[in-house]
Amino acid sequence: EPEVTQTPSHQVTQMGQEVILRCVPISNHLYFYWYRQILGQKVEFLVSFYNNEISEKSEIFDDQFSVERPDGSNFTLKIRSTKLEDSAMYFCASSLSDGKNIQYFGAGTRLSVL
């Protein structure tokens, strides 16, 4: 069964460093998403991406964040200058454009900012 894959599974970084989280969505999906889940809190939407541009973003997705689809398979989330409060589990998801918006999630990348 096709799945969304994310790498790395755990990323440790120093405050102020840049990190790039990587995702390979399901190959025939057209919509891509990033979510985060701070420990013990709700899964929060960050950004959605369609047709090579951001289609929607939340208040959390400020200028420190950016997304890119550098080639036909990868979808990345970059955090320019990490803060302690960026420590969270980051989930990538993808979906078809079939109107049901059934999103398939990756296993997540745990980001620890020290």
Partner 1 sequence: GEDVEQSLFLSVREGDSSVINCTYTDSSSTYLYWYKQEPGAGLQLLTYIFSNMDMKQDQRLTVLLNKKDKHLSLRIADTQTGDSAIYFCAESMRGGSYIPTFGRGTSLIVHP
Footprint on this chain of partner 1 (rule: CB under 8 A): 4, 6, 33, 41-45, 48, 56, 91, 93, 99-108
Give me the torsion for CA of 42, 43, 46, 52, rounded to 10°.
-170
How far apart are CB 8 and partner 1 at their closest, in Å? 13
Smallest gap, in angstroms, from Cβ of residue 109 to partner 1?
10
Q: Which is nearer to partner 1, 3 or 18 (CB)?
A: 3
Of residues 17 and 56, the one with the C-beta less far from partner 1:
56
Question: Helix, strand or coil for residue 98?
Answer: coil
Amino acid found at 106: G
d(CA 104, CA 101): 9
In this structure, are residues 20 and 29 in contact, taking their beta carbons and an 8 Å threshold? no
Q: C-beta of 81: minimal distance to partner 1 in Å?
A: 26
Query: How many Å apart are CA 21 and CA 75, to the nearest integer?
Result: 9
Shortest distance in whole angstroms from residue 108 CB to partner 1: 5
By C-beta, is 48 or 82 nearer to partner 1?
48
* Of 14 and 41, CB closest to partner 1: 41
Tell me the backbone φ, ψ of residue 59, rounded to 5 degrees.
-65, -25
